[in-house]
């Protein structure tokens, strides 16, 4: 009787052991599908979040690989990690419309700031001191401002194409260039005022 009891306990333990030792392929496929679905849109509007869910999935896959290499496999931790990656991806997919709207608003704000900086630089340049040796400098600054205007036109196209991240970067670069031109004009005015 004891032998049968031990045999049954041994079979139950073996069944549990084998159950923990089987790779969670369904969990892997579900997590990968969720991450791929969310990352497609998130790349454009929430790149940091897209990277986070991809990293989460990669960490889970690394855990699966670690267990694959063991004699006594236990995929419990990997399953938990895969479930979290899937859950995070689904939450991100749901949040994409708000993130898209926020990215659009940020791009428009950056564009407006760049336009203001360009306008300020143009007004300062119109009042720039004109004297011996400054004509070439003024022409160079006018050419730079023309480049800023061209960049702003590109920013508008990027916003219309929903490439908000790129639009923000280009708008910030245009703003920086316009600010640099304005600073050069102010320095020239200070020099002229001292003479």
Same domain, 152 and 186: yes
Domain range spanning residue 82? 2-96
The whole-number pLDDT of residue 5 equals: 62
C-alpha closest to that of 29 among 51, 63, 60, 52: 60
Confidence of residue 170 (pLDDT cuts 50, 70, 90): very high
Same domain, 90 and 131: no
Same domain, 173 and 130: yes
Same domain, 122 and 83: no
Last residue in a domain, options 70, 96, 122: 96
Angle at 181 between CA 186 and CA 133, to 5 degrees: 70
- Is the predicted pLDDT of residue 17 greater than 70, yes or no? no
C-alpha closest to that of 88 among 152, 38, 150, 22: 38
C-alpha closest to that of 162 among 89, 118, 106, 113: 106
Contact assessment for residue 99 and residue 42, using Cβ atoms and an 8 Å cutoff: yes
Domains in the chain, number: 2
The whole-number pLDDT of residue 158 equals: 94
Same domain, 114 and 77: no
Same domain, 12 and 79: yes
The whole-number pLDDT of residue 19 equals: 46
Same domain, 92 and 164: no
Q: Flag whether 164 is in a domain.
A: yes
Q: pLDDT (tens digit, 9 = 90+) per residue, 33-76?
A: 999 999 888 888 888 899 999 999 999 999 999 999 998 899 99
Q: Flag whether 195 is in a domain.
A: no
pTM for this one? 0.67
Same domain, 129 and 52: no
Q: pLDDT (tens digit, 9 = 90+) per residue, 116-146?
A: 999 998 898 888 777 666 777 788 888 888 9
Last residue in a domain, options 73, 96, 119: 96
Per cent of the chain over pLDDT 90 is 57
Contact assessment for residue 110 and residue 171, using Cβ atoms and an 8 Å cutoff: yes
Q: Flag whether 171 is in a domain.
A: yes
Same domain, 119 and 182: yes
Last residue in a domain, options 75, 96, 117: 96
Calpha distance 164→44 (Å, rounded): 8
């Amino acid at each position: 009787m004891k032998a049968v009891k031990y045999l049954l306990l041994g079979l139950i333990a073996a069944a549990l052991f084998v159950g923990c030792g089987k790779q969670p392929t369904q969990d892997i496929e579900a997590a990968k599908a969720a991450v791929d679905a969310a990352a497609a849109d998130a790349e454009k509007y929430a790149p940091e979040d897209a990277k986070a869910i991809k990293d989460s999935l990669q960490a889970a896959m690394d855990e699966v690989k670690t267990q694959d290499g063991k004699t006594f496999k236990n995929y419990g931790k990997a399953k938990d990690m895969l479930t979290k990656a899937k859950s995070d991806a689904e939450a991100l997919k749901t949040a994409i419309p708000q993130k898209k709207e926020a990215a659009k608003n940020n791009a428009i704000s950056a564009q407006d700031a760049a336009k203001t900086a360009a306008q300020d630089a143009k007004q300062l340049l119109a009042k720039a001191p004109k004297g011996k040796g400054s004509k070439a400098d003024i022409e160079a600054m006018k050419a730079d401002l023309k480049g800023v205007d061209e960049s702003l036109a590109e920013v508008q196209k990027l916003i219309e194409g929903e490439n908000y991240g790129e639009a923000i970067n280009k708008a910030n670069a245009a703003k920086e260039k316009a600010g640099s031109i304005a600073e050069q004009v102010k320095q020239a005015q200070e020099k002229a005022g001292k003479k």
